[in-house]
Amino acid sequence: MSNEADAVVSTIIAKWCAGFATLDAAALSSLYSNSAFFFGSNPKLYRGRDGVADYFNGLPRWRKPCAVFSDVNAAQAGPDLINMAATISFDLAGERDDLFVKMSWVIVREDGDWKIVNHHASAKAPLI
Which tops the pLDDT comparison, 39 or 127? 39
Which pTM was predicted? 0.92
Residue 112 has pLDDT above 80, yes or no: yes
Residue 1 has pLDDT above 80, yes or no: no
Show the 3-state SS of the chain: CCHHHHHHHHHHHHHHHHHHHCCCHHHHHCCEEEEEEEECCCCCEEEHHHHHHHHHHCCCCCCCCEEEEEEEEEEEEECCEEEEEEEEEEECCCCCCCEEEEEEEEEEEECCEEEEEEEEEEECCCCC
Mean residue pLDDT of the chain comes to: 92
**Residue pLDDT, tens place only, 18-68:** 999 999 999 999 999 999 999 998 889 999 999 999 999 999 888 899 999
**Residue pLDDT, tens place only, 97-110:** 888 999 999 999 99
